[in-house]
């Protein structure tokens, strides 16, 4: 059986020693010959190098003082351009998102019944974006909420000129109605209804409602009734038109029709107090206080009622209880006692 043996390379130490013996005297001879020359060249060139340094150093310093500010200024000027060219689409998108956030914040304040907060947010935004139609429209809505329709009118007109949208035209008509410019309001609404924007508007019942409201303010009850009905046909649960139609029937001495519309309004908005108050008033006038009290108690059983609305309902229940014929008999006999309205 063969044994495997490792192959060890032959050492180069003998060859290296031979070369050293040959080259060493040559290296020493070259060094002795070249050393004086190197020293001589150093002595010749050193003064020249020192002289050139003395001449060039001030020039370099001077050029540095001139060029350094120029380079810095050029860098500063190029920076914004480079950033803009970097991604203009992203910058525009961020700006748009910021504007939408600010607009939604203002809308939230208006819907929450805080027009003073909306006004505080809008004033600096209007200065920054004076030609933004949305901000002008929101400013008009804010002033309407602040019961200042004259100020609102100017903003709606400017917004409508910048961007004639259906929603802005509708707001403009509301401002005309509130400032008693009924002819202008009616003209604006009829033009809106015929226009492509009005035909494509997703809430046509609002246009019909404003036409009816304008006619009602002009004492044209038949026209008002017609358009309120049209609004409720388009949207059977349109609360505003249901309430206005009920009030119109109540004024024209049609209590049964008024009750019918108030009941529809009650179904359209279960948390609203106004239809409750209207129905209770009608039933108490008809001598049906127990039915009125049952309605109030049903309303108080609703969850998440606004505290102010709940307080109104409690006061209404207390007043209605006193009008109950049974309590009136006890009161005449001197035996009237306050009734508890429960924990609601």
Q: Classify residue 60: in a domain, yes or no.
A: no
**What is the pTM (predicted TM-score) of this model?**
0.67
Q: Classify residue 78: in a domain, yes or no.
A: no
> Residue-wise over 153-184: b if at least 16 C-beta within 10 A, else e?
bebbbbbbeeeebbebbbbbbbbbbbeebbeb
The kind and range of the H/E element at 230 are helix 221-234
297 and 234 within one domain: no
Q: Classify residue 93: in a domain, yes or no.
A: no
Tokens representing 45 are 């060139």
320 and 259 within one domain: no
171: domain CATH number? 1.25.40.10
pLDDT band at 95 (very low <50, low <70, confident <90, very high): confident
Domain that holds residue 161: 98-271
Checking if the pLDDT of 12 tops 60, the result is: no
- Helix then strand count (H, E) for the chain reads 16, 0
160 and 263 within one domain: yes
Amino acid 7: pLDDT: 39
- Residue 200 DSSP symbol: T
pLDDT tens, 283-338? Answer: 999 999 999 999 999 999 998 899 999 999 999 999 888 766 554 333 333 333 33
Number of domains, the chain: 2
User: Using an 8 Å Cβ cutoff, are 237 and 201 in contact?
Assistant: no
User: Which of 271, 302, 325 is the last residue before a domain boundary?
Assistant: 271
Q: Classify residue 233: in a domain, yes or no.
A: yes
pLDDT tens, 134-179? Answer: 999 999 999 999 999 999 999 999 999 999 999 999 999 999 999 9
* Residue 188 CB neighbour total at 10 angstroms: 23
Amino acid 340: pLDDT: 36
Mean pLDDT of the region 41-64: 65
Checking if the pLDDT of 249 tops 70, the result is: yes
Tokens representing 227 are 């358009």
251 and 117 within one domain: yes
Checking if the pLDDT of 206 tops 50, the result is: yes
Mean pLDDT of the region 245-254: 95
336 and 221 within one domain: no
User: Which of 271, 302, 322 is the last residue before a domain boundary?
Assistant: 271
| pLDDT, greater one: 257 or 93 | 257
321 and 236 within one domain: no
Length of the chain counted residue by residue: 344
324 and 201 within one domain: no
Q: Classify residue 316: in a domain, yes or no.
A: yes
User: Which of 225, 253, 271 is the last residue before a domain boundary?
Assistant: 271
Q: Classify residue 134: in a domain, yes or no.
A: yes
Q: Classify residue 237: in a domain, yes or no.
A: yes
297 and 249 within one domain: no
Backbone angles phi, psi at 202, to 5 degrees: -80, -10
294 and 187 within one domain: no
For helices 133-145 and 88-111, the axis angle rounded to 10 degrees is 10
Using CA atoms, how far apart are residues 114 and 142, in angstroms rounded to an integer?
Answer: 9
* Residue 193 CB neighbour total at 10 angstroms: 17
pLDDT band at 92 (very low <50, low <70, confident <90, very high): confident
126 and 241 within one domain: yes
113 and 262 within one domain: yes
Q: Classify residue 28: in a domain, yes or no.
A: no
209 and 293 within one domain: no
């Amino acid at each position: 059986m063969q044994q495997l043996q490792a192959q060890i390379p032959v050492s180069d130490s003998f060859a290296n020693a031979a070369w050293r013996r040959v080259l060493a005297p040559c290296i020493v001879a070259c060094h002795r010959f070249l050393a004086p020359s190197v020293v001589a060249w150093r002595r010749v060139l050193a003064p020249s190098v020192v002289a050139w340094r003395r001449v060039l150093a001030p020039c370099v310093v001077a050029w540095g003082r001139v060029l350094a500010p120029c380079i810095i200024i050029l860098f500063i000027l190029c920076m914004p351009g480079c950033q803009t060219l970097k991604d203009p689409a992203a910058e525009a998108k961020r700006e748009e998102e910021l504007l939408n956030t600010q607009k939604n914040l203002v809308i939230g304040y208006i819907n929450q019944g805080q027009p003073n907060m909306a006004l505080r947010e809008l004033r600096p935004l209007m200065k920054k974006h004076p030609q933004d139609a949305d901000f002008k429209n929101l400013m008009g809505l804010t002033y309407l909420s602040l019961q200042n329709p004259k100020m609102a009118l100017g903003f709606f007109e400017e917004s409508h000129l910048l961007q004639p949208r259906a929603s802005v035209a509708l707001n403009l008509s509301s401002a005309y109605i509130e400032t008693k410019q009924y002819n202008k309001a009616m003209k604006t609404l009829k033009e809106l209804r015929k226009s492509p924007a009005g035909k494509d508007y997703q809430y046509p019942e609002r246009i019909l409602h404003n036409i009816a409201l304008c006619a009602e303010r002009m004492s044209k009850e038949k026209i008002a009734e017609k358009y309120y009905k049209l609004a409720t046909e388009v949207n059977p649960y349109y609360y505003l038109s249901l309430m206005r139609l009920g009030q119109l029937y109540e004024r024209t001495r049609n209590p049964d029709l008024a009750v019918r519309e108030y009941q529809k309004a009650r179904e359209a908005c279960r948390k609203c107090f106004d239809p409750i108050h209207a129905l209770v008033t009608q039933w108490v006038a008809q001598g049906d206080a127990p039915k009125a009290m049952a309605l109030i108690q049903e309303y108080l059983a609703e969850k998440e009622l606004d505290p102010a609305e709940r307080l109104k309902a409690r006061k209404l229940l207390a007043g209605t209880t006193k009008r109950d014929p049974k309590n009136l008999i006890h009161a005449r006999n001197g035996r009237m006692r306050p009734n508890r309205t429960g924990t609601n």
